Structure 1
Amino acid sequence: MELTTQQRNESISNATNALLFEDDYLHIKNAIDQLHLLFAGVTGVNAGNITDQDIHLPSGKAVSTIKAAHCLMEIDRTRKFLRGIHQAINHILDKRPNQTINILYAGCGPYATLLTPLTTIFTAQQVRFTMLDVNAASLDAARLLYKELGILDYVTDFVCTDATHYQLSANGSIDMIISETMLNALRKEPQLAIMNNLVPQLNPDAIFIPEHITVEAVLTRWEEEYKYFITPDYQPKRIKAGLVYRADRKFQLPKPVVIHAPASETHNRLDLFTEINVFGGEMLKTYNCSLTMPLAVCKLENQNEDIAVTFEYVMSDNPGFTCTF
């Protein structure tokens, strides 16, 4: 039996409340499954087998419609981003309770995953969205979803374009930008190219989500990382080598940085660790999701002394950090 618009919105509301306010893992997983079932049913885009193709841009890969749908299914990723964005909206509303918050979602995907649930929390007088995606199929799906849910009044515009070239309106009406277009260690996808274009256009008091992203060089040992997965609450022993890059509201593209990896008889793998602070302390830490999985750089065999490693970020159609010794 097909659900009515009211039943759909009640279902989204229940799932959203679980994601924002509950800590029971099963309830949160059920909420994700509930949202996927509803969004897939309305849009026809199912986070199943990936049969479509990514879009390759000069600044990196824009993921396919089905891959973008899959992002919803990463439980910690979805709930941490939703909780952070919820906090960020409330932060602005506390300062300006009677004004509408205008949010640009750069890379909204077919479900507009990080905003659609919040339509059950905030009114269309409180928040308005500009949905942007370079993938026309994803944008069409998002438009259909909002139409079928009866929430088109939340949307100022649907824009099909490359966010690395998009120009904000000169009136400075955007209060928040959300762009979650990255992989671990900021490789392959155009997160930094998007930030490089959009952050300088923002008013000083506007918010960019995520609030900051850090990439750090760390020496690891396989046995220690393995214990993390098999031993409850185990804290693996790691050797921090240094900060490679931090992206935040005071945006600058990465500059070459020299990290001195200390000599170690036990820790012989050099990895890049990514951490993401969405907003207000809502953090995605190592192993929380695909965005924060360690990225292996190399093995350091027979390391008897410190090794200087230069990391340099390459902006291209396949962006990411390169390293030289």
Structure 2
Amino acid sequence: MKLTPQQYKEILSAATHTLLFEENYLHIKNAIDQLHLLFAGVTGVHAGDITDEDIYLPGGIAVSTIKAAHCLRELERTRRFIRGINQAIGHLLNTMPGHTINILYAGCGPYATLLTPLTSRFNATKINFILMDINPDSLNAVKALYEQLGLSDYVIDYVCADATIYKFPHSMRIDMVISETMLNALRKEPQLAIMNNLTPQMHQEAIFIPENISVEAVLTQWEEEYRHFTIPDYQPKRIKSGLLYRASRQFKLPQPVVVQVPASETHNQLDLFTEITVFGEEVLTAYNCSLTMPLAVCKLENQQEGKSVTFEYVMSDNPGYTYIY
């Protein structure tokens, strides 16, 4: 049975309330399942087996429509981003009273996952969107979703473009940019290329989501990491070796970094740890989701003394860190 726009909005509102305010993970999982059923039912794009292909760009890989749909189903990732964006919108509305917040969502995918739920919290006089994706299939899907759910009033434009070269409309003030186009340790996808293009175009009070991304070199030990998963609340012993990079609103491209890795008789695995601050207190840390899984660099066996490791971030069609030691 086809639902009415009002019934769609009731499902959306209930699921969004759970993501924003509940801590019970069963309830959160059920809410995300409800959103997936709703979005997939309207668009025909299901987060199932990957049958479509990525798009390869000069700045990195733009993931396929179905892969983009999959992002919804990472519980902690989805709820932290939605909570952070909800807070960021509230902040902008408080600091710019009477102003409609214009949001550019670069890489919106087929569901505009990080904004669509918030249409149940803010009406179209408060927030407007430019929904952008380089994949026309994703853009067609999200357009169908917004039309079916009766949300078209929120959308200024649907833009099929490469966010690494896109220019803001001259006649429009963009107050927030959302781009969650990354993997752990900022590899393969064009997050930094997008930030390098878009952040200089933003006005001073505008917010970029995520607010902060950091990549750090850390020495780990397998047994300690294992205890983290098998012993409740266990904090694994790790040896921090140095910050490689921090990306924020005051954006700069990464520069080569020499990290002094200390000698250790116990910790011999050098990993890159990613931490993502969406906005305010909404933070994703190690193992919270695929974006913050530690990335193995190398084993440092028989390490009787410290080593210098040089890391360099390569901006290319396959971006990521290289290292020499």
Shorter-chain TM-score tier: over 0.9
Q: CA deviation at 1:278?
A: 0.2
Alignment match, 2:126: 126
Alignment match, 1:75: 75
Higher mean displacement: 115-124 or 165-174: 165-174
Q: Is the 8 A contact 1:172 1:203 kept in 2?
A: no
Task: Give the partner amino acid of 2:195.
Answer: M
Which digits, 9 at most, give the CA deviation of each residue in 1:159-204, with x for residues without a partner?
0010000001234500000000000000000000000000011101
Alignment match, 1:174: 174
Alignment match, 2:145: 145
Q: CA deviation at 1:2?
A: 2.3
Q: CA deviation at 1:86?
A: 0.2
Query: In 1, Cα distance between the equivalents of 2:311 and 2:211?
Result: 23
Task: Give the partner amino acid of 2:36.
Answer: H
Query: In 2, Cα distance between the equivalents of 1:148 and 1:4?
Result: 9
Task: Give the partner amino acid of 2:187.
Answer: R
Alignment match, 1:25: 25
Alignment match, 2:212: 212
Query: In 2, Cα distance between the equivalents of 1:4 and 1:242?
Result: 54
Write out aligned runs for 1:186-201 (5 A): 186-201=186-201
Which digits, 9 at most, give the CA deviation of each residue in 1:63-93, with x for residues without a partner?
0000000000000000000000000000011
Query: In 2, Cα distance between the equivalents of 1:67 and 1:230?
Result: 30
Q: Is the 8 A contact 1:172 1:202 kept in 2?
A: no
Query: In 1, Cα distance between the equivalents of 2:164 and 2:96?
Result: 29
Alignment match, 2:242: 242
Residue 319 of structure 2 corresponds to residue 319 of structure 1: yes
Task: Give the partner amino acid of 2:154.
Answer: Y
Alignment match, 2:48: 48
CA RMSD across the alignment:
0.6
| TM-score using structure 1 length | 0.99
Query: In 2, Cα distance between the equivalents of 1:48 and 1:322?
Result: 33
Gaps of 5+ in 1: none
Write out aligned runs for 1:174-323 (5 A): 174-323=174-323
Task: Give the partner amino acid of 2:6.
Answer: Q
Task: Give the partner amino acid of 1:244.
Answer: L
SS at 2:258's partner residue?
Answer: strand
SS at 2:13's partner residue?
Answer: helix
Identity across the alignment (%)? 70
| TM-score using structure 2 length | 0.99
Query: In 2, Cα distance between the equivalents of 1:121 and 1:96?
Result: 18
Write out aligned runs for 1:81-160 (5 A): 81-160=81-160
Gaps of 5+ in 2: none
SS at 1:245's partner residue?
Answer: strand
Which digits, 9 at most, give the CA deviation of each residue in 1:214-252, with x for residues without a partner?
000000000000010010000000000010000001100
How many residues are paired up? 325
SS at 1:140's partner residue?
Answer: helix
Task: Give the partner amino acid of 1:251.
Answer: F
Residue 160 of structure 2 corresponds to residue 164 of structure 1: no
